[in-house]
Amino acid sequence: MGEQQEKNTYRLQGLTCANCAQKFEKNTKDIAGVSDARINFGASKLTVYGQASIEELEKAGAFDSIKVYPEKQRMEELKKGSFLKRNVFLFLSLLFLIGGWMIGEGLISVLFYSVSMLIGGYRLFLTGLKNLFRLQFDMKTLMTVAIIGAAAIGEWGEGATVVILFAISEALESYSMNKARQSIRSLMDIAPREAVIRRGSNEIKVDVDEIEIGDIMLVKPGQKIAMDGLIIKGESSVNQSAITGESIPVAKAIDDEVFAGTLNEEGYLEVKVTKQVEDTAIAKIIHLVEEAQAERAPSQAFVDKFAKYYTPAIMIIALLIAILPPLVIGGDWSEWIYRGLTVLVVGCPCALVISTPIAIVTAIGNAAKNGVLIKGGVYLEEAGAIDAIAFDKTGTLTKGTPVVTDIISLNGDEESVLLQIAAALERNSGHPLAASIVRKAEELSLDINSLVIAEFHSLTGKGVKGRIGETEYFVGSPSLVKEILGEKIDEEVASFQSQGKTVMVLFTKSHVLALFAVADEIRETSQSVIKKLQNMGVHKTIMLTGDNHQTANAIAKRIGISDVEAELLPEDKLRRVKALRETYKGVAMVGDGVNDAPALAASTVGIAMGGAGTDTALETADIALMADDLHKLPFTIRLSRKTLRIIKENISFSLGIKLLALLLIIPGWLTLWMAIFADMGATLLVTLNSLRLLRIKE
């Protein structure tokens, strides 16, 4: 496929059957001008490579009355038609069936049953017969053969009943998939489609598609924010629950970032737009969640492979039951053909086919509404099997904004002078600890820009160095002092480290000048989250940090983390995660998605925090906690485990009820209508069981 290949994405209405999705995809690929097509069943979307009109696409989906809409079309247009209107033929068919029952025996009742079968099953018959001639065996082929066979042996009433019950089963399947997809559709309706923009001296209301980067958006109290941007005027509380799942509004002021779809609760805001509508946080979330629904979970792959052989096997079993007893033991042909037809009906794999995708779609949608982005069914399943979790310290277990708590002068110079030198060096570093020294200097109004730094170098994982005048200065860890000066300063730093503080040292090539004690505040939720995880059966929690051992151990002790690995460089973290994977079945790495990218990639499941504000977190992680907070982690694992359990229940129940029904057919205890009723009941129970995932909250 060439890079310049035209690509268009469409939303679909009426796509409720996994087998139908595969057929629609194949039909679309057969359209002249189309080189490839991909169906996303979970999100009900079609991606077409090449050229095809909507009329051609709808013709390709005419077998199941699939409607096609451009991807950006508003969702209201996809919700047309009530349940009654969409199933009018089902209700008409039911009326004729009831009429046939009331009339009883005779030609008139057969006529009523025939009309009922034709009205309720004409689309089923057309598809089933085409499939039969093409030797394509799916559930509609099974149903068609069973219904026509029932009519052929004079069981008109049962044939008509099977048509009705199968149609009801499909309607329930349609309703349940739409319900599961509703979580994502509700996300799509969160952000307003219009916003008030100031251009020059004019205030105009424009569609979000027409808003450009740099436009000034005006947001009144009580209004939703339509685009991502930075506040340039005003302050307010903004409810970000739609993006991050946080129930408590967040205080916002000038230079703070705001997201499309969030609610401005109190003040008047002027926001400078920083992203186009397709690049906003909510747009990325929707896109990634819909792509996640297309990713097949391992259990889904098993079901698909099983179903491929299951349906032809059922047809062979039905044929053998229909012909062997009459030929071998002289059984009645009509009776055994009826039992063979019942096997076809009972073998319909509706419940099995829907068992996994509906659970995956429901769980991923529920997670997104609660501020957790899971990027595929495989990660959803793997998160449920986690038994070891590695945490980055800074910005994950702690707030990531360390502050200078103590300045100790060791050579008699004024603390402010030493702080000025250290801050002048550190202003060129991007490390959070360096930023704390710069902030401290700014708080004391020290002029750090007046000092000219020459020959600046960053010493990865250790500190920085630079020349001021004739003197070369270093700011870094105590281990850097030992490396450069060959002397230890353990006694001076031990008391600070025992308090959970990190010590940074200012020194020259001849002597140590000052110590700066820096503390990174522990998140309020860290301790309770670790306790919840341990109560859930996570066997090992480990902190991976570049900080020193004493500081790391002090913080780990306060939080309740079982193991600590300190003074690690990024490549060391990567090695530790790989080592954990050799010992434990499922290993998660939790970090900010920036410095921890290699370790996140090496883990079974990489979990990034603060996904709403950082593109890196969304790109590198398998799961992103949209709020910059850990309290979503136990919820995610609990949801994953519940999903795994429900998928296993669904598959076991679907296959179990088939086996039981097959055993009841042989002695003749199961009728055609009872068989389809059992299948419909299985589909309904699998659906309701999966929708229980919507009830899982924090």
pLDDT of 539? 81
Phi, psi for 551 (deg, rounded to 5): -65, -45
Single-letter amino acid code for the residue at 446: L
What is the pTM for the complete model shown?
0.70
Q: Give residue 533's identity as a one-letter amino acid code.
A: L
| pLDDT of 117 | 86
SS3 readout for 402-465: CEEEEEEECCCCCHHHHHHHHHHHHCCCCCHHHHHHHHHHHHCCCCCCCCCCEEEEEECCCEEE
Across 617-628, average pLDDT: 78
Task: Give the mean model confidence (pLDDT) for residues 374-401.
Answer: 85
The domain over range 7-80 is classified in CATH as 3.30.70.100 = yes
Number of residues that this document lists for the chain: 698
Average pLDDT over every residue of 466-490 = 87
pLDDT at 670: 78
Q: CA dist 112 to 89, 119, 343, 386, 673, Å?
A: 15, 11, 26, 58, 17
**Catalytic (active site) residue 215:** no
Q: What is the rounded radius of gyration, in angstroms, for the C-alpha atoms of the chain?
A: 32
The string of pLDDT tens digits covering residues 415-434 is 999 999 999 999 888 777 88
CATH assignment, 194-279: 2.70.150.10
pLDDT band at 83 (very low <50, low <70, confident <90, very high): low
Q: Are 156 and 338 in contact (CB under 8 A)?
A: no
595: pLDDT confidence band, cut at 50, 70 and 90?
low
- Give 21 or 320, the one with higher predicted confidence: 320
Other residues' Cβ atoms within 10 Å of the Cβ of residue 310: 17
Instruction: Give the range among 393-397, 635-639, 666-670 with minimum mean pLDDT.
Output: 666-670
Span 336-355, pLDDT tens digits: 888 888 887 777 777 777 77
pLDDT in tens, 559-583: 999 899 988 877 888 889 989 988 8
pLDDT score recorded for residue 616: 64
pLDDT at 74 over 60: no
Instruction: Check residue 184 and give its pLDDT.
Output: 63
Boundaries of every domain in the chain: 7-80, 86-184+291-350+642-695, 194-279, 403-519
Percent of all residues in the chain with a pLDDT value above 90, rounded to a whole number:
18
Task: Assign domain 403-519 to its CATH superfamily.
Answer: Calcium-transporting ATPase, cytoplasmic domain N (3.40.1110.10)
Q: At 441, which amino acid appears?
A: A
pLDDT of residue 381: 86
Q: Residue 246 has what pLDDT?
A: 65
Of the residues 64, 138, 392, 679, only one is catalytic, namely 392
Q: Which residue has better confidence, 320 or 97?
A: 320
Element (H, E) at 651: helix 632-665
Say whether pLDDT at 64 is over 80: no
